[in-house]
Amino acid sequence: MEVVGMIKRAKTIAYQSINTELVNCYWQVGEYISQRIANASWGDKSVLDLAKYIEKCHPDLKGYDRTGLYRMKKFYDTYCNTPIVAPPVRQLQLSENQSDKFVTPPATQLTDIRQTILAEISWTHHLIIFSRTKMEEEREFYIRLCIRERYSKRELDRQISSGLFERVMLGKHQLPSMVQQSGKDALNAFKSDYIFEFLQLPDQHSETDLQKALVTQMKKFILELGRDFLFMGEEYRIQVGNSDFKADLLFFHRGLQCLVVVELKAEKFKPEHLGQRNFYLEALDRDVKKEHENPSIGILLCQDQDTEVVKYAMNRTLSPTLVASYQTQLPDKSVLQQKWKQIMEETSN
């Protein structure tokens, strides 16, 4: 088994190395084309001629047709002036043959991005990100998320469609101070809205239906929550005095080092929901939490919420709790973007 582990680790490292070199190569090709178009020495015909030259003289090189070359240029143009690209450059010497107009002279300087976060995700992931996002902050968010969560291209595509960036940004501004004090990871651990389209629940459903569906689809539920959440149980039994109580779902968050209890409400938020949640948090901290762990956090997951009612209800509570809503269908991403822009404008004013 140790030998198999060694082989798998070696293959992973080899794949990562190949990906790093490939992404760096695409960057430099894009930079080369971008610079020549910028100084008017090249036009669209030159790019097309280059694509034909590669196809004719180097048919073994795939992905360098006109569309592919312009994607590489877009990749470079998208990130060349962003802070995530490190400043070091290296001299690239492709060949001593100066007779061909498509061979770079030895003096050409191209940036090297192998030590940046851009080289840590695949070219396929890059294509999805820079083609489907508009803001620099949003692009960096998804790059770092792919690195941390190791998203497949399908999961990345789903998260962009569900407006994950906007939901996390909205969640940061709505996160109660008691939850923020749990640690820096708290800002990225929770969202204002959760998307459960994978449950395929009807609009009218009960809390039991929601709970059973979430447990059945736990793998996808964890991906929506975040990979640092570890599932501990459903209807988790809490004993206080001579009475037994059951918390809907209990998790442990590795980054925050604390228990997270999720209470499900298949209805709009009501202030009285907080009483039950506070009771569970107190019981968990007294009887379940270990000494080295941080105070427990509660998520009250409702089908809908009035933000003003939530603000009033939470104003005097000292418990670290987040009130969030859930949707059983993918949201309108433009609506989330508008909400986030509105908050940004209000904050700046």
Alpha-carbon distance of 132 to 139, in angstroms, equals 9
Contacts of 74 (CB under 8 A, 6+ apart): 30, 130
A 10 A CB-CB count for 260 gives 25
Alpha-carbon distance 173 to 203, whole Å? 28
Strand boundaries in the chain, DSSP class E: 89-91, 109-111, 193-195, 229-240, 243-253, 258-268, 294-304, 321-327
Return the pLDDT at 119.
94
Nearest to 296 by CA among 174, 179, 192, 191: 179
Phi/psi for 263 (5° steps) reads -105, 130
- The position carrying tokens 């690209």 is 85
pLDDT for 337 equals 72
Q: Which of 164, 183, 163 is closest to 297 using CA atoms?
A: 183
The segments of the chain whose pLDDT lies below 70 read 1-5, 7, 86-108, 172-188, 335, 339-340, 342-349
Reference 191, options 116, 262, 97, 118; nearest CA is 262
pLDDT computed for residue 315 by the predictor:
79
Query: For residue 230, which of 194, 258, 202 has the smallest C-alpha distance?
Result: 258
**pTM exceeding 0.85:** no
Q: What is the pLDDT at residue 106?
A: 42
- CA dist list (Å): 271 to 142, 302, 305, 306, 323: 35, 12, 10, 11, 11
Q: What is the pLDDT of residues 187-198, one digit of tens each?
A: 667 877 898 988
**DSSP assignment of 195-250:** E-GGG---SS--HHHHHHHHHHTHHHHHHHH-TTEEEEEEEEEEEETTEEEEEEEE
pLDDT of residue 349: 62
User: At 194, is the secondary structure helix, strand, or coil?
Assistant: strand
Contacts by 285-288 with C-beta closer than 8 Å and gap 24+?
287/238, 287/239, 287/240, 288/238, 288/259
> Alpha-carbon distance 314 to 312, whole Å?
6
Look up residue 278 and give its two tokens: 């506070």
Task: Confirm if 323 and 300 have CB atoms less than 8 A apart.
Answer: yes
Instruction: Please list the residues that pair with 301 across neighbouring strands.
Output: 264, 324
- CA–chain centroid gap for 305, Å, is 24
Q: What is the pLDDT of residues 103-161, one digit of tens each?
A: 444 445 788 999 999 999 999 999 999 999 988 999 999 999 999 888 999 999 999 98
pLDDT of residue 262: 94
